[in-house]
Structure 1
Amino acid sequence: MKVYLVCWTTSAVSEPEYYVEKAFAKKEDAKKFITKEPPGEGSYYIVGSDDNNGYWIEEFEIE
């Protein structure tokens, strides 16, 4: 089973530590979330474009 983690970071390094804001079973739900919700409190670093409110999606396989 795949899960989709909505992530954000406070760092601009190439492999930053990141925070998981929320997990979803469907990628579509994760995409909807990142277009509606601002990231967690404090400053954050935009990965890629800022269209995603500072979030990105990590896909993980779980058993």
Structure 2
Amino acid sequence: MTRDRRSWLAVVLSAITAIVLDIFPDAATSFPMLHRWVIAIILGAAVAAVVLRSRPPMGGDSRD
């Protein structure tokens, strides 16, 4: 996977993570909105970091 594709994948996955983590605790608990957003941003950034650090499979795109 090229770096450009991984960048887009990181953006999409981190956005989905942030949205899910903002909506789910709202329905399940009474977390204040600021706490939900802080948790969502931190975990979204963690997802992006994992995606961007992942290595392509052997025999994959060597242009990375």
TM normalised by structure 2 equals 0.32
- More helix by proportion, 1 or 2? 2
Q: Which has the higher contact order (CA 8 A, sep 6+)?
A: 2
- Structure showing greater Rg: 2
Normalised TM-score (structure 1): 0.32
